[in-house]
Amino acid sequence: MDIVDLKILELLKDNSRMSFNEISQSVGKTEATVRRRVKKLTDEGVIRKFTIDYAIDNKPRTRATVKIEPDFKEIKRILKELLEIEEITNIWRLSGDCGLFMKVEIPSIEQFNPLIEEKISQIKGLKIVETCFITDVIK
């Protein structure tokens, strides 16, 4: 990934509906080049989805963070299994021995324990260290 890819990602992060033509003008490359780079970033899994910040049904969502300590010998398998859980919207690998930090989004607080107990905790090789509910989004 080079500086052009990073610029493309930043533009899409700010506006996922930006056209390839608009992006090409911003990064100084042809539309075909931008289209090819976005496809490559998508194929590599850097871009996984184009998403929105609110629920389609406009119902409030319950959001929480979950910090886990994975068995780093099993990290590839653990990450693969975590990626399959649709309620997990973000996963960050933290430096050192800090483990993984995830954001989850569920329709209601009542669905949090089943998510933890029936999905996340069922993955062998991980230990849940901390969960926190997001009460307000500042930025």
Contact 82/102 with Cβ under 8 angstroms?
yes
Q: Could you tell me which residues are beta bridge partners of residue 68?
A: 100, 128
User: Tens digits of per-residue pLDDT, 122-133?
Assistant: 999 999 999 999
User: What mean pLDDT, rounded, does the chain reach?
Assistant: 88
Question: Tell me, what's the pLDDT at 2?
Answer: 85
Beta bridge partners of residue 101, listed in sequence order: 67, 92
Which domains does the chain show, CATH number per domain?
3-43 (1.10.10.10), 62-133 (3.30.70.920)
Please report which confidence band the pLDDT of residue 57 belongs to, taking 50, 70 and 90 as the band edges.
low
Q: Which residues are registered as beta bridge partners of 62? A: 106
Give this prediction's pTM: 0.59
Percent of the chain topping pLDDT 90: 58
| CA pair distance 79, 68, nearest whole angstrom | 11
CA distance 45 to 91: 13
**Distances from the Cα of 6 to the Cαs of 40, 105, 132, in angstroms?**
13, 27, 31
